Amino acid sequence: MPEDRRRAKRIPLDSLYFVKISFEGDDIITCLVLDISIGGLMMGLPPGMESATPPIGAKGIIRDASPEISEVLEPDLEVTIMWAKEGLCGISFDEPQPQVVQSFDHDDFE
């Protein structure tokens, strides 16, 4: 298994949260957020998109999100695809989002 290079603690989410994101001028897609940190998130891609995942290094912008996610992310946040595999995708925020920890890091996730 590859070495885990994450610098920030990933926080698993206990509810359904979504982001709407566009990559390099493509259409906006809606993805399920599976975990989040100050530096990025892991998301599930929409059905049928597994084979059309944007390439590693692709730039994107989060255009909209579930209210709880929108409250902790800067508007039109720029992101980069770090990895993609089997319908999942990891994105890195171009700027850290420290307010994520205050809203989502709870002891019940331990």
Reported confidence tier of residue 3, pLDDT bands at 50, 70, 90: very low
Q: What is the pLDDT of residues 13-71, one digit of tens each?
A: 878 999 999 988 778 999 999 999 999 999 999 988 766 778 899 999 999 999 999 99
* Angstrom distances, CA of residue 103 to CA of 23, 34, 45, 90, 94: 27, 15, 24, 20, 20
The pTM assigned to this predicted structure is 0.82
Q: Give 89: exposed, middle or buried? Use CB within 10 Å, 0-12, 13-18, 19+.
A: buried
Compute the average pLDDT of residues 65-89.
93
